[in-house]
Amino acid sequence: MSIEVREIVRRFGATAALEGVSLHVARGEFVALLGPSGSGKTTLLRILAGLEGSDVGSVRIEGEDMTGVPARERRIGVVFQHYALFRHMTVLDNVAFGLRVRKRRPSAAEIARRVRELLALVQIPELERRYPEQISGGQRQRVALARALAIEPRLLLLDEPFGALDALVRKDVRRWVRGLHDRLGISTILVTHDQEEAMEMADRVAVMERGRIVQCDTAEALLREPATPFVAGFLGEATRLDCHVRGGVAHFDPLPLPPLRVTLPDGPAQAFLRPGDIAVHAGPGPCTVRALRDAAEERARLVVEFGGVLLDATMAGGQPVQRGASCRMALRGGILFGADGRRADAEPVVRVLAG
Amino acid sequence: MSATALLGRRSRVAPVPGLGLTLGITLAWVGLIVVIPLAALAIKPWELGVAGVAQSLAEPRVLSALAVSFGAALLATLVNLPLGLLLAWAIVRLDFPGRRILDSVIDLPFSLPTAVAGIALTALFAPNGWLGAPLMAAFGWQVAYTQAGIAVALIFVGLPFIVRTVEPVLRDLGRDAEEAAATLGATRPQTLGRVVLPMLAPALLTGAGLAFARAVGEYGSVIFIAGNVPMVTEIAPLLIVIRLEQFDYAGAAAVGLAMLVLSFAILLILNLLQRRLRRGRR
């Protein structure tokens, strides 16, 4: 079902949690709300679910205004951050809950059949007699998902659902949930503060900052064309550096970095340098390797110290380096924001190595 | 040292450090404070012989006192269950002026000398008291010096037990489960009946057990308001005191033993019930 959020404002006392948020989710689309804590993403989710009211604005599901419709009548499935399973009920009873509280309640046999189907769908049919305290975190999450799916939701909301899982399980579950979405085709909104999770799972990512959606686009577009310095800094592990533009060239002084050519008016600017923008070459030079990642990969990632600043960089090839070794580096480009907020892509003036 | 030697040594080490010492202290303490006095109580009445104990307990006055004590305690506990739940709910969920004051007032029955509470309640509910007079005038109800008065006193002393056992569990519960129930289509009554109350049931039972145990043994606050008419408003603890004053120590112990056995049976049932609930089965 398509979801239309228009100009939602929500204040808690004097502080505004949401300041005019609009969002469109197409039928069957998977959208992630990504932002730091306190950016209002969970508040937006709760307003969608009907657990919280909005001061201004409207939510429409398939054109139908949801204002004043209580949560229980919205048919929106929610997977809560800590799953919120009913701990006095078995897995089976948890999943059956949404069917049993219906006004026109299906027969017991029908409910049992549907619950078994759902448990098979989330691949935990053997757990139906267990209690939530007797199963693992990943299994609880599957139960929460099956419980939310039992009401045949028009929209599925996932509130930081992977936060309580360990890194290895999280990766698997993430792919599995996205696969499930592709099979069922239920419009889904995921709330997360993990950019990797958002970009891997969602069709589009809405980046939130202080109660606003600052940009909503595909992961690739967000990385290539960030709308604001906040987006540029929040996604893609970029290093933010202050610089100064003079005559179409950005200078990083006092840092001894090579200048970048950029079409911005003269004045102060912010540069965002992605790891791929900084190429490190082994050999004597002014930089020091502080940390190494993916050292066995073809293009190892590393952290280098240069002029007192730590930069996320990429190995440009050549000899492998070790922690503490000295090295040289070159800038391949970057994204700059002028004082007026204008964005421009930068490129190296000359392909020279620093130092 | 080889691995087997290490393992061999480890297997002889108790899993809890100082297990022997702590177990010794615990058992000695429980024995000294709980088991020996209770054993003495259990042995004493048999000085009368089996027939003597049976005769002593079969006295109508004793049976009536036991019925009054346990009946009033049960009634007070049943009244306190919903009342305590409501108060705990108000303290945890509502934010109103004076919440903190209410929070501390609830503990007063714990700290007040029971005789003071008894005298205050008696003054309040006496036929000419602040509450007693209007109740008498409006409905013709007399509270003080009747069985109703006993129940009022027991409600007073039992309430904090239920509030204080339910409160932390309710606080810990959060609203997550209720919100989940709402998104799944449950109405408010369905959420309360199927989610909140079952989750609170073990705590409610614990509180009820504590309040009931306290009410059965309550003496100080009851004897002032009860009027202590034999066969009507005489409670079992008072009967024990009366027998002691008549130097009928074995007879007093017989009543005590009867109370002990009854209380133990009731608390055992509550405990078993609670264990079933803790497993989550309804």
Residues A171-187 have pLDDT tens digits of: 888 998 999 999 999 99
Rounded CA gap, A191 and A161, in Å?
Answer: 8
Interchain pair A86, B195: CB under 8 A: yes
pLDDT at A350 (0 to 100): 67
Gap between the Cα atoms of A112 and A243, Å rounded: 65
Considering only CB atoms, A102 lies closest to which of B181, B185, B199, namely B185
What's the mean per-residue pLDDT of chain B?
87
- For A61-84, the DSSP string reads ETTEE-TT--GGGT-EEEE-TT--
pLDDT band at B144 (very low <50, low <70, confident <90, very high): confident
pLDDT at B278 over 50: yes
Q: Summarize the confidence of residues A233-261 as an average pLDDT.
A: 87
Residue ranges per domain, chain A?
Answer: 3-230, 239-348
Q: Where are the alpha helices (DSSP H) in A122-205?
A: 137-149, 167-184, 195-201
pLDDT at B4 over 70: no
B175, B183, B187, B278, best to mutate vs chain A, most A CBs in 10 Å: B183
Q: What is the pLDDT of residue A297?
A: 73
Let me know: does A257 contact A354? Beta carbons within 8 Å: yes
For an interface test with B, which of A74, A75, A79, A88 has the most B Cβ atoms less than 10 Å from its Cβ?
Answer: A88
Q: What is the CATH number of domain A3-230?
A: 3.40.50.300
pLDDT at A71 exceeding the cut of 80: yes
Which chain A positions have a beta carbon within 8 Å of B205's beta carbon? none
Chain segment B57-98, per-residue pLDDT in tens: 889 999 999 999 999 999 999 999 999 999 999 999 888 888
Other Cβ atoms within 10 Å of B191 Cβ, number: 20
Average pLDDT on A13-30 reads 90
Distance from CA of A118 to the nearest CA of B (A): 15
> What pLDDT, on the 0 to 100 scale, is given for residue B279?
66
Q: How far is A149 from chain B (nearest CA, A)?
A: 9
Residue B18: what pLDDT?
Answer: 82
Residue B13: per-residue pLDDT? 59
Q: How far is CA B183 from the centre of its chain?
A: 38
Q: What is the pLDDT of residue B48?
A: 86
Give B118-186 as a DSSP string: HHHHHHHHSTTSTTHHHHHHHH----TTSHHHHHHHHHHHHHHHHHHHHHHHHHHHTTHHHHHHHHTT-
Let me know: does A191 contact A207? Beta carbons within 8 Å. no
Q: Higher confidence at residue A62 or residue B279?
A: A62
Question: Per-residue pLDDT for B143 more than 70?
Answer: yes
Q: A interface toward B at CB cutoff 8 Å?
A: 49-51, 70-78, 80, 82, 84-90, 97-98, 100-102, 131, 147-148, 150-151
Over 80: is that where the pLDDT of A89 sits? yes
Helix or strand or coil: residue A202? coil
Alpha carbon dihedral A245, A248, A250, A256, in 10-degree steps, equals -120
Q: Above 80 in pLDDT, residue A351?
A: no
Report strand pairing: A76-79 vs A155-159: parallel
Give chain A's mean pLDDT.
89
**Longest Cα pair distance anywhere in chain B, in angstroms?**
89
Nearest to A86 among B177, B185, B279 (CB): B177
Given this model, what pLDDT does residue B14 score?
60
Residue A116 scores a pLDDT above 90: yes
For chain B, the domains span: 13-55, 59-278
Q: Is the ipTM of this complex over 0.90?
A: no
Res. A15 pLDDT band, cuts 50 70 90: confident
Look at A131 and B279 and tell me if their CB atoms are within 8 Å.
Answer: yes
Q: Is the preceding peptide bond at A286 cis, omega within 30 degrees of 0? A: no
B187, B195, B277 member nearest A72 (Cβ): B187
Q: Examine the pLDDT at B215 and tell me if it is beyond 60.
A: yes
Please give the residue of chain A at the shortest CA–CA distance from B277.
A88
At residue B136, the pLDDT reads 85
Nearest chain A Cα to B188, which residue?
A72
Predicted confidence band of residue A329 (pLDDT cuts 50, 70, 90): confident
Overall average pLDDT of the A142-151 stretch: 94
**A304 beta partners:** A289, A311
pLDDT in tens, B45-60: 888 888 888 888 889 9
pLDDT of residue B11: 53
B135 pLDDT tier (thresholds 50, 70, 90): confident
Interface check for B197 against chain A (CB to CB < 8 A): the answer is: no
| Average pLDDT, integer, range A307-318 | 83
Check if B205 contacts A (Cβ < 8 Å). Answer: no
The maximal CA–CA distance of chain A, rounded, in angstroms, is 78
Tens of pLDDT, residues B145-185: 888 899 999 999 999 999 999 999 999 888 889 999 999 99
Position B2 pLDDT exceeds 50 = no
State the pLDDT at residue A214: 93
* B9 has a pLDDT exceeding 70: no
**What pLDDT does B281 receive?**
44
| DSSP structure class, residue A341 | S
According to DSSP, residue A102 is labeled S
Q: Is the pLDDT of residue B5 over 60?
A: no
State which CATH number among 3.20.20.10, 1.10.40.50, 1.10.3720.10, 3.30.750.210 fits the domain covering B59-278.
1.10.3720.10
Q: How far apart are CA B131 and CA B150, in angstroms?
A: 16
Collapsed DSSP state (helix, strand, coil) of residue A132: helix
Report whether pLDDT(A26) > 90. Answer: yes
Does residue A212 sit in helix, strand or coil?
Answer: strand
Q: Give yes or no for a contact between A86 and A98, defined as CB atoms under 8 angstroms apart.
A: no
In the block, residue with structure tokens 């059949």: A113
Residue % of chain A over a pLDDT of 70: 98
Q: Which residues contact A304 (CB under 8 A, 6 or more apart)?
A: A278, A280, A287, A288, A289, A290, A310, A311, A313, A327, A329
Residue range B98-111, pLDDT digits in tens: 888 988 888 888 88
pLDDT grade for A349, boundaries at 50, 70 and 90: confident
Determine the Cα–Cα distance for residues A141 and A84; give it in Å rounded to an integer: 10
From A51, A89, A150, residue closest to B182, measured CB to CB: A51
